[in-house]
Structure 1
Amino acid sequence: MISKSKRVTRSMAVAFAAAAALTVSMPSGNAFAIDHVQCVGGENFLKIWSHLDGRESVDCYANAGKTGFGGWWIDRISTGNNDLIYYDANGDSVKIERWHDMTFPNHPPRVVAIQIL
Structure 2
Amino acid sequence: MLLSSTRFVRSAVVSFVAAASLTMAVPGNAYAIDHIECRGGENFLKIWSHSGGRQSVDCYANKGRTGFGSWWVDKISTGNNDLIYYDVNGDSVRINRWTEITFPHRPPQVRDIEIL
Identical pairs, percent: 62
Residue of structure 2 in register with 1:52 after alignment: 51
Shift of 1:64: 1.0
- Residue segments in structure 1 that go unaligned for 5+ positions in a row: none
Number of equivalenced pairs: 114
Residue of structure 1 in register with 2:9 after alignment: 12
Q: Deviations over 1:51-105 (max 9, x none)?
A: 1121111110111111111110000000001111100010011111111001111
Shift of 1:20: 7.0
The reply to whether residue 80 of structure 1 matches residue 114 of structure 2 is no
After superposition, residues 1-117 of structure 1 pair within 5 angstroms as: 4-16=1-13, 29=28, 31-117=30-116
Supply the AA of the counterpart residue of 1:107.
R
Distance 1:41 1:92, change over 3 A: same
Regions of 4+ moved over 3 Å: 13-24, 27-31
Shift of 1:28: 7.4
Q: Deviations over 1:16-45 (max 9, x none)?
A: 466578789xx9747421111110001000
Distance 1:10 1:29, change over 3 A: same
Distance across 2 between alignment mates of 1:111 and 1:20: 43
Distance across 1 between alignment mates of 2:81 and 2:49: 18
Give 1 or 2 for the bigger CA radius of gyration.
Answer: 1
SS of match in other structure, 1:15: helix
TM normalised by structure 2 equals 0.83
SS of match in other structure, 1:6: helix
TM normalised by structure 1 equals 0.83
Q: Over the residues paired in the alignment, what is the CA RMSD in angstroms? A: 2.5
The farther-off stretch of 37-46 and 14-23 is: 14-23
